[in-house]
Amino acid sequence: MILVTGAAGFIGFHLTVALLSRGETVVGVDNLNSYYDPALKSVRLLEISKHPNACNFQFERLDISDRDGMEGLFERYKFKVVVNLAAQAGVRYSLQDPHAYTDSNITGFLNILEGCRSSEVKHLVYASSSSVYGMNIKQPFSSEDRADHPISLYAATKRSNELMAYTYSHLFNIPMTGLRFFTVYGPFGRPDMAYYKFTEAILSGLPIQVYNMGNQERDFTYIDDIVEGLVLTLHAIPSREPSQYSNAPAAHRILNIGNNSPVSLSRFISAIESSTGCTAVKNYLPMQDGDVPSTFADIQDLTRLTGFSPSTSIEAGIEKFVRWYVNSR
């Protein structure tokens, strides 16, 4: 039995569908918060309910920051694997509501760790983020690079998760893998993300907000590639061993999961224009606080361990997203 937190979220939804298709039994947890329109989360849950193996899915509406609720969850079910994708997302929003990030990403993650400790979970896979690299100069970003200069509270909470996970893995011998996600996009995606907002604006004839005067690159990674990497990672359970920096052994590893191919903002916008058949009206603005000019994932470790090989170009992925977006209106 697999626990997927954030099951009504973007990545959690797609992972749940993939696991059900593989015959797994899944318990999905989500608090259905209003960070963006909860109606989209309800649509995702409806899609799961239509799956041929939907009888193997159980949904629990629960906030992972609810200590008593999470304790009860781990008592009711005997999870072999836990995938923690629940979090308060969004770099810019962390400047507006910082407490939401400590509640979900720190307290909530501690509840996940305690649940794994109490129930002898065989593998915890949890979502970290490329944002932990901050404005690191060296690229591509390697999981061996220093990640101690975050430039947003969101990034700081994700780096904190990695340290908390290492500690629990060392103390209680729980195998854990942290995945640093790089700009995930695709159908059923988050409305606060640039590809969604740009598509919506371009189709409506409205201007798009292009930050840093357009001088940005992102390692955009299509959702199907992300889910493939997640599923492969579930079976790549780390063993207990010292790190190259410490004699404190832990069955813990951190891996980048991205496309290993950064895309310029201009190419990204061109892909949306091509798929929509419309020309964007661009409003150029300075860099936003907490944002970074470029991300680029070194995925050698994930590829070596699992054979992960992302294959979706930005043009192909955006075309699939736009088709879904238009059909869902």
- Tens-level pLDDT at each residue, the chain (329 residues): 999 999 999 999 999 999 999 999 999 999 999 888 999 999 999 999 999 999 999 999 999 999 999 999 999 998 999 999 999 988 778 888 899 999 999 999 999 999 999 998 999 999 999 999 999 989 899 999 999 999 999 999 999 999 999 999 999 999 999 999 999 999 999 999 999 999 999 999 999 999 888 788 999 999 999 999 999 999 999 999 887 788 889 999 999 999 999 999 999 999 999 999 999 999 988 877 767 788 899 999 999 999 999 999 999 999 999 999 999 98
DSSP per residue over 148-175, as a string? ---SSHHHHHHHHHHHHHHHHHHHH---
Q: What pLDDT shows up at residue 90?
A: 80
Note whether residue 109 is domain-resident: yes
Q: Can you tell me the distance from the alpha carbon of 241 to that of 60, in angstroms, rounded to the nearest whole number?
A: 35
- pLDDT recorded at residue 42: 97
Question: Could you tell me if residue 208 is inside a domain?
Answer: no
Q: What are phi and psi of 239, to 5 degrees?
A: -100, 160
Is 243 part of any domain?
A: yes
- CATH value at residue 98: 3.40.50.720
- Overall number of domains in the chain: 1
Whether 328 is in a domain gets the answer no
Distance CA 299, CA 107 (A): 29
User: Active site includes 36?
Assistant: no
140 within domain boundaries:
yes
237 belongs to a structural domain = yes
Select which of 36, 126, 133, 154 is catalytic: 154
Q: Domain of 83? A: 2-182+222-258+296-310
Residue 300 falls inside a structural domain: yes
**How many angstroms separate the CA atoms of 281 and 296, rounded?**
27
Q: 253 in a domain, yes or no?
A: yes
Q: Tokens in use for 274? A: 């091509």
